[in-house]
Amino acid sequence: MQTHEITRRFTDHFVAAGHTKVSSASLILDDPNLLFVNAGMVQFKPYFLGEVPPPYARATSIQKCVRTGDIDEVGRTTRHNTFFQMAGNFSFGDYFKAGAIEHAWNLITSSQDAGGYGFEPDRIWVTVYRDDDEAIELWRKIAGLPLERIQRRGGKDNYWDMGVPGPGGPSSEIYYDRGPEHGREGGPEADEDRYLEIWNLVFMQDVRGELSPKDGHPPIGTLPHKNIDTGMGVERVAYLLQGVDNVYETDLVRPVITRAEEFSGRRYGVDATDDVRFRVIADHARSGVMIIGDGVTPSNEGRGYVLRRLLRRIVRSSRLLGVNEPVLRSFAEVVRDEMAPTYPELVSGFERISAVVEAEEEAFLATLSAGSRIFDTAVAETKSSGGLVLPGDRAFQLHDTYGFPIDLTLEMASEAGLEVDQDRFRALMNEQRSRAKADAATRKVGHGDGSIYRTVLDTHGVTEFLGYTDLSAEATIVGLLVDGVPVAAAREGEHVEVVLDRTPFYAEAGGQQADTGELRGASFTVRVDDVQSPVAGLRVHRGVVVAGEVSLDAAVVAEVDRSRRASVSRAHTATHLVHAGVRGALGTAAAQAGSLNAPGRLRFDFTSPTGAVQPAALAEIEDEVNTVLQQNREVEAYETTMDEAKRLGAMMLFGEKYGDRVRVVDMGDYSRELCGGTHVGRTGEIGMIKVLSEASIGSGVRRVEALVGLDAFRHLSKEHLLVSTLADQLKARPEELPERINGLIERLRTAERDLEKVRADAVLASAGALAAGAEDIDGVSLVAVAAPDGVNGNDLRALASDVRGRLGSQPGVVALFSGDGEKVSFVVATTAAARDRGLAAGALIPTFAPAVGGRGGGKADLAQGGGTDPAGIPDAVRALRSALRN
C-alpha cells in the first residue's frame, strides 16, 4: 500500500466518523517552545488549553513534523528521522478513551477491501499507563485483546506532554509484532525493534507544570475538558504495509537514495558506511525541502541554523560517496515529485526552494574549500612535530569556525595517516551544547504563563474587535491588572493592563505596530501605549493611569490616536505593494520573511537567494509602486473561504496559521494577500513611497527600508536642499554633481598619495643617521632607540629594515620603539651575521618587552610587538643591551 493511499484511508476513516478534515499546519508556528511543529496536536493547542473555543468537536489531520534532537543519529540507525508525517484524530470534549480505542482498532484491523489497513489482530500489542485500569478493560472489551498482550509501563513510556508546561495526559500505545526474525519475544517491554510502535493514543486531561508527570511529578491542574490526541506514524505504517525493513526503503524515501546511487555509482545495501550516507541524504533532503517550503532560509541561528546543518550534511555525505558536483537541487526535485500529491505547494514554490538550496550549496562548497586548506595546515603541523593524532582543538575549530563536519575531518585525517583526538573534540562540543542549553533555558516560556489572561477569556469571552470600521467605541472594563496581578482598581500614575469587552484598538500583529490612544471614563483617563494579544482572542491594553482612579466594570470610551493609525495603515498597505513589486521583479523566490509597519515608515524582509537587489532594479520597483499609488486603486478587504482565497491567487505568508475563513486585502491584479491588518481605502491615500536602503540581514535574506507619505516627502525635501547647497558651493548644475565630486575625490586621493610618499621619504632619510649611531656590544652593532616622531606601524617596520641594511655584513641588531599615548609599538630586525651568532629577532623580544608592558614575536630576521607603557622604553633599551652582553 502506497504512502499516499495510507494517508487517504486514514482521513476517509475519520471523516466518515464525524471528524472535520483539517489541513496540515505550517512547520513554523508562533510557539516560543518549538523551533518546528513536532506533533499533530500543536496547531490544536489553543483548543486543548481552552484559550479559544474549538470550531468543531472532532478533527483529523495529516501533520508534517520535524524533530531535530537526534540529527547526529540519523543514518546510523534506521529508526531516527527528522521529517515525518503524523496522522491524528482529535476530540475536544467529545469522545474519550473508549472512542479513541474503537476508532483506532477498527482502522488498523479492518480488511484492506473494507478500507482499513488489514493488520492481523493477533499481532497487535498495546501498552497503557501504569495505573490506567480503565484503558486495560476497554482494550479487552473493544478489541478482545488478552491480558498478556497488554503491558503496563511508567511515565517515561506512557505519559505524554510536550516537554514544557502545557497539556498532557496518560497514553496507550499500539505495537505490531514483526515476527521472531526481528527479535526476542516478550512484547514491547522486551524488544521495541521486533514490536514496533505505530500509534499513540493520548488521553489528554492534565496541565503539567515545570516538572513533568513523566518523572513522577503530579500535574498542576486539569484541562477544561477531557480530550483525545492521537498520532499514527505514517512512515512506520508504510514500511510495515509495503513489506520493507525500514522507512528508507518506502515509496516516498527510496527514490532519493536511487538518485544518490546514480550520482555516486555506488549501491545502497552493499557497504554499511555508505548506507549511513545514503540514509542521511534521503532523510535530510525531505526535511530540508519541507522546511524551506514553509519559509525558512539558512542562517546561523534558530531554525535557519538547523536547516543549514541539514543541507550541509547532505553535501558532506555526497562528497564522502565520491560526488563532487552540485546535488541539492536534484535531490529537491525528487522530494518535490514524490511529496507533491499531498503537498502541492512544493510545486508552486519550487523556484524559491531550488534557489535557496543552490545558494547554500555554493556557499558550503566554498567553505569546504577554505576548511580543506586549514585542515591541510593542521595535518602538516601535526606531522612536522612527529605526532600521529590531530588535536581535538583543531578539529573543533574546523567544525565551529569553518563549518567543517567532524565526519569529513575523520575521513580526511584517515587518508592522511592520522587519527583525531575525538575525546577532546567531544568535550569541546559538550561545553558548547551546555552553553546553548543554558541560553535556551533562560528564554524558555511555558504555557502556564497565560493563566490569568485565560481566566479573563473564560469568564468574559473574546474581545470584539471594531477597529476595521471604528476608531472610537464605548466599552466596559472586564479585566484590570497591575504588575500582572488582577486588581479591582488602579490609581493615577500606576501602569495597568486593561481588558475591554470590545475595542477599536489594533493589537500588534503581522508586523503592524499596535494602536495608541486613550480610555476615558467618567472620572479617569488611561493613556494606552501598547496593545497585545497574550492569548488568542483577547486584547490587552497596556498603559498608565494619567488621571483619576480606574476600576473594574467601569464604562469607558476607547479612542484610538487617529493620526497614528492612519500613518501606520499607510505603511502597512505600502508594504503589500512593495512585496508585490519585489516578487514581480525578482520572481516567486522572493518571499516575505518579516515586516514592520510603523508611522511613516516600513521595513520589508524577503528571501533573495541570488543576493543583493541591484540599484537599478530597486529604482524600477519604487517607480512601479508609486505608479500604482498614482492610479488610486481601491483597497478592498473582505472575508472568504480559504479555498476561494487560493482560487483567487491570494498570497499567504509562510509560518502563518489560517483558519477556514480568511481575510483578503485586495488591490486588484497588482496585490492580493491574506492579512488581518488595517489599511487605507485607496492607494492614493499613501501619497508616495521612498526606498531608503536595501541590505543583507542574514544568509539569503534581504531588507528594504522605506518612508511613506509625508515622511517620504520630507526626506526628499531635505535631499533636494542638500543637493542645491552642494551645487551652489561647487558652482555646478545638480546633474553635474557626481562627475564634479568624483573629480574632487580623485584629486584628494592623488594629494594624499603624494603626501604619503613625502612622509615616507622623510622617515627613511633618518635611517643613515640611526645606523651611524650604532653602538658596539661585544662585537654586535646595536641600534636601539625611540623612532623619530610620527613614525609608527608599517613605517616603523620599513625604517628598521632600512637601518639593518645599512649595517652591512657585520653582526647587527636594530630595535626601534614608537610611543603613542598609552601604547607602544616596537620592531626588531637582525642581520644575517647576527643570526649566525644565534641572535634571532623573535627570541630577543621577551628579554625587553616586559619593560613596556608588552609582548610580541616573529621570525629570526624580523619580529614586532606592542605594549602599554611608553615610559618603559628606556628600560627596554637597557634590558636589550644587557641581553646582548649575556
pLDDT at 469: 94
- Between CA 148 and CA 17 the distance in angstroms is 30
Ramachandran class of 778: left when φ > 0, alpha when ψ lies in -120 to 50, beta otherwise: left
Mean pLDDT (whole number) for 770-781: 91
pLDDT at 438: 60
- Between CA 461 and CA 455 the distance in angstroms is 9
- Between CA 783 and CA 829 the distance in angstroms is 10
pLDDT in tens, 499-515: 999 999 999 998 999 99
pLDDT at 638: 94
Taking the whole predicted model, whether its pTM rises above 0.75 is answered as no
pLDDT at 442: 43
- Between CA 236 and CA 87 the distance in angstroms is 11
Q: Which residue has the cell 503496563?
A: 152
Q: Is 265 helix (H, G, I), strand (E, B) or coil?
A: coil
Mean pLDDT (whole number) for 588-611: 86
Whether residue 877 contacts residue 824, with contact meaning beta carbons closer than 8 Å, is answered with: no
Mean pLDDT (whole number) for 794-805: 87
DSSP string, 285-341: HHHHHHHHHTT----SSHHHHHHHHHHHHHHHHHHHTT--S--HHHHHHHHHHHHTT
Question: What φ, ψ does residue 551 adopt, rounded to 5°?
Answer: -135, 160
Name which residue leads in pLDDT, 755 or 258. Answer: 258
Average pLDDT value over all residues in the chain: 89
pLDDT at residue 89 tops 90: yes
Q: Which residue has the cell 480559504?
A: 642
Q: What length is written for the chain? A: 886
pLDDT in tens, 720-734: 999 999 999 988 898
pLDDT in tens, 41-66: 989 988 887 777 899 999 999 999 99
pLDDT at residue 449 tops 60: no
Percentage of the chain modeled with pLDDT above 70: 95
Q: Which residue has the cell 524558555?
A: 444
Name which residue leads in pLDDT, 492 or 363. Answer: 492
Residue in 457, 504, 495 with CA at minimum distance from that of residue 479:
457
Whether residue 194 contacts residue 182, with contact meaning beta carbons closer than 8 Å, is answered with: yes
pLDDT at residue 448 tops 60: no
Q: Which residues are annotated as a binding site for Zn(2+)?
A: 572, 576, 675, 679
Whether residue 337 contacts residue 258, with contact meaning beta carbons closer than 8 Å, is answered with: no
Q: Which residues are annotated as a binding site?
A: 572, 576, 675, 679
pLDDT at residue 491 tops 50: yes
- Between CA 28 and CA 307 the distance in angstroms is 13
pLDDT at residue 313 tops 70: yes
pLDDT at 439: 52
